[in-house]
Amino acid sequence: MEGCDSMSDAITRLKQEAVEGARINQLSEIDASGSYYNEGIGKDGPFDRLREECGVFGVFGYGDAAALTYYGLHTLQHRGEESCGICASDGNEFAYHRGMGLVKEVFDKDRLMSMKGERAIGHVRYSTSGDSRLANAQPLVFKTRDGELSVATNGNIVNAPAIRRELEKKGSIFQTTSDTEVIAHLIARSDADLVTAAKEALRQLVGGFAFLIMTNERLLVASDSHGLRPISMGRIGDAYIFSSETCALDAVGAEFIRAIEPGELLVFDAMGFRSERFASVERRALCAMEFIYFARPDSHMHDVNLHTARKRMGKELAKESFVEADIVSGVPDSSISAAIGYAEQAGIPYEMGMIKSKYSGRTFIQPSQELREQGVKMKLSAVRSVVEGKRVVLIDDSIVRGTTSRRIVTMLREAGATEVHLRIASPPFKYPCFYGIDTPDTSDLIASNHSVEEICKIVGADSLAFLSKEGTVQAIGGSFTQEKNNGLCMACFDKDYPTEHIPLSKIASETVC
């Protein structure tokens, strides 16, 4: 099997690397920039977009669990494109594989057929903590004195570096730079049974996370005490399925049962399953950006369909910031639903003013401004026959640095648009996320350093308006209207972080807008 070392093998291997100097250099880079993960490591490639850290998918009690997990991960590919992996168990041993790239590139029929078992966990990753390399690809797999252990998570553990330092002082040797590895060490060092050890470990973690933890006997599913990162449970016959989004449950033919509750730990074994708690439900705070941008429009969260929520955001945006125009268009693909809603509310025709290429591939390195501009044109193009001579209301879901907005506005003008009125279906994004979204440092967030009027001039639009925070919350709606912000985390808009231990010194204390 690949990627799995016993503790003694790991110690020997790491000592050899230390002699060569490789491991020493690597460890010195783990936390060089600060004491917490996700400090704005994202780069300004051809698209100035926020990126989700990852997605998870799990299966318990299905005959061909690895193949089912493959299809689930394929549906969740939008949540992570850098690496992916699957670990399956037949009750006696693990079979697993991880690789860099897309799900369809990493797995083939022969690989999946070799991974036997009725339970499996899978992962797609885009790194916000730890390097983008195979060692950090998940699920992480370990051998402990009590047997094999595999872990996959969606989210970020804010206090992982502090826990890591304490564990290293006690002799733990880490094989990756991923924050996910800390929970494996906490479990492995415990003298308690797996379930008790997992509860003790989860209570030490601060951040937003949805965990899948598997041994040859059990599968555990856990959500942080605020429910910051989504995870839902479904069923196919007697088998149970878990996914970051319900769209993957639909894709494999699973019936949706419910979302995992904040602070809940589900335990699946030969006796069936039971629900336990490792923490009480604190302030419920599911990430609002799931509704605004990340999740697929056919997914459901908080009993709300994402397409419907985004249409309502567009309608609310039209009520708050109507402007006379000839057509409404959306930046594909995540802004289309909001654009349709805006058009319906405003009584202005919706037109496909921009086209997104689905075959342009992934672009990671853009060595010059000229090539960055070309990267945008490869993926987005304006439809001249639609926008020429027209006053265009352009709907987008968010503005991060503003670079892409400027390029798109320029693109529309070059295609003959006489006016471009930019409308954003979310509040100004002013503060970084520490819970599993790759966001820039505050100094790079355009809304944290410029007023709306200044941003409008920077991006070159004729007018600019954002959806209000109140309008966003109202439009999303959901099942938790009695809770703060309808049970949503809005910290990237209002700096009201639901957890402690957020490094506020890294966030601008004042903004100009």
What is the widest separation between alpha-carbon atoms in the chain? Answer: 72
What stretches of 255-402 show up as alpha helix (H) in DSSP?
288-289, 306-320, 336-346, 369-379, 384-387
Q: How far is Cα 206 from Cα 225, in angstroms, rounded to an integer?
A: 9
The 10 Å CB-count burial string (b at 16+, else e) for 154-166 is bbbbbbbbbbbee
CA distances from residue 15 to 11, 23, 142, 289 in whole angstroms, order as listed: 6, 8, 18, 43
179 carries a ligand binding annotation? no
Residue 174 in contact with residue 185, Cβ under 8 Å?
A: yes
Tokens 């509704």: give the residue. Answer: 291
Count Cβ atoms below 10 Å from residue 481 Cβ, excluding itself.
11
Quick one: 207 exposed, middle or buried, by C-beta within 10 A (0-12, 13-18, 19+)?
buried
H/E stretch holding 143 reads strand 140-144
334 carries a ligand binding annotation? yes
397 carries a ligand binding annotation? yes
* Adjacency order of strands within the sheet including 463-466: 327-330, 391-396, 419-424, 463-466
Quick one: 447 exposed, middle or buried, by C-beta within 10 A (0-12, 13-18, 19+)?
buried
287 carries a ligand binding annotation? yes
Q: How far is Cα 494 from Cα 393, in angstroms, rounded to an integer?
A: 26
Q: How far is Cα 206 from Cα 184, in angstroms, rounded to an integer?
A: 15
Tell me the torsion sign for CA atoms 315, 318, 321, 326: positive
What DSSP string describes 160-183? Answer: HHHHHHHHHHTT---S-S-TTHHH
Q: How far is Cα 399 from Cα 438, in angstroms, rounded to an integer?
A: 14
The 10 Å CB-count burial string (b at 16+, else e) for 425-440 is bbbbbbbbbbbbbbbb
Q: How far is Cα 314 from Cα 331, in angstroms, rounded to an integer?
A: 13
CA angle 51, 72, 102 (to 5 degrees): 55
By annotation, the residues acting in catalysis are: 54
Q: How far is Cα 266 from Cα 432, in angstroms, rounded to an integer?
A: 31
433 carries a ligand binding annotation? yes
Residues that constitute the known binding site for [4Fe-4S] cluster: 287, 433, 489, 492
Residues that constitute the known binding site: 287, 334, 396-397, 433, 489, 492
